[in-house]
Amino acid sequence: MNLEYLRLKEELVFNWFETLFIGSIEKVVGKKIDKVRLDYYKQEFIKRFFVHFLSVKKLYSGVEITYNKKRNQLLLLSAVLTLIRSCLENLSTFNYIYTDTQDFEELEYRFWSWWREGLINRQRYYTEDEESKKKQAIEKEQIEDIYNKMVKTKCFNQLSKKQKEKYKKYGKWHDLSYKGLLSKTGFSDVFANNIYNYLSSYSHPTSTRLLQTSQLDYATAANMQKIMINALFIASALYLHKYKRLFKEIESILSDKDKVFIDSWCELGEKILNPINTI
């Protein structure tokens, strides 16, 4: 672990990761893919993560507002933490589908079950548009087709009766929480649990969120934001590490410093137990 890389100013770390994400995405654009939808979404996952990453980069410095005739710096803490939570959920799902298993049949089962769950959710959208109704009808058939294929897999047949019922009706394809999924990505179990709980408290209009935000002064809020941004940097490193396992050609764009930079942030995620005491 290179502590110098972990102690760089946030702007420099943001810029370094941005360069690595762009290079990795560009390297595989146009690559011939065999399993069209399954392989296509490997790229779409990381693109969506990168968009949220850039949003955090844009927002983390905050805004200036005039209040009581004075210029005040305001941190957009809730917006930043909600985006970071989305990034962690993206990484967790990507990892669970694509890099958590070496069994290709299981990978296909996870991908198509994830896809089917999304189609089921889309059936709940109300629409008066005729084209949308036609699309929903087509997707309803796809839901059934995927189900008929998945019931023949060993993964499905390892489910309990109750799990099979939930799978068929709701599309629920695993029993892990996002905290459980996150601990599989490379974060320590304790860190994954603490960080996700904290981020979730800022993503919903709970009393916890209002209690925390009302008690924070600017300095405390800035320090808390820094800690959570470190979690985003760890997630970014883990994503790049896993992505280059799927696309070996990405290795060619990484310098020795890039590799040490990525590995240092990955190692930090494994070692941290208390997110409040990072770096």
Q: Give domain limits for the chain.
A: 3-100+184-277, 104-181
Tell me which residue of 176, 169, 60 sits closest to 116, measured CA to CA. Answer: 169
Residue 96 pLDDT exceeds 80: yes
Higher pLDDT, residue 36 or 261: 261
What is the rounded distance in angstroms from the CA atom of residue 208 to the CA atom of residue 139?
Answer: 39
Tell me which residue of 113, 222, 130, 125 sits closest to 168, measured CA to CA. Answer: 113
pLDDT per residue over 165-179, tens digit each? Answer: 999 999 999 999 888
Higher pLDDT, residue 164 or 274: 164
Residue 202 DSSP class: T
Res 278: pLDDT: 47
pLDDT per residue over 200-223, tens digit each? Answer: 887 766 666 556 665 578 888 888
Average pLDDT over residues 13-19: 98
Chain-centroid distance, C-alpha 24: 17
Residue 274 pLDDT exceeds 80: no
Tokens encoding 132: 């949308």
pLDDT per residue over 178-198, tens digit each? Answer: 888 998 998 888 888 888 888
**Percent of the chain residues past pLDDT 90, beyond the cut:** 66
Mean pLDDT over the full length of the chain: 89
Average pLDDT over residues 84-95: 96
Query: Residue 86 — very low, low, confident or very high, per pLDDT cuts 50/70/90?
Result: very high
Distances (CA, A) of 115 to 41, 51, 119, 149, 220: 10, 21, 6, 13, 41
Our CA dihedral for 109, 115, 119, 124, rounded to 10 degrees, sits at 100
pLDDT per residue over 102-158, tens digit each? Answer: 999 999 999 999 999 999 999 999 888 999 999 999 999 999 999 999 999 999 999
Residue 42 pLDDT exceeds 70: yes
In this prediction the pTM is 0.89
What is the rounded distance in angstroms from the CA atom of residue 278 to the CA atom of residue 131?
Answer: 51
Res 279: pLDDT: 45
Residue 273 pLDDT exceeds 60: no
What is the rounded distance in angstroms from the CA atom of residue 82 to the CA atom of residue 136?
Answer: 30
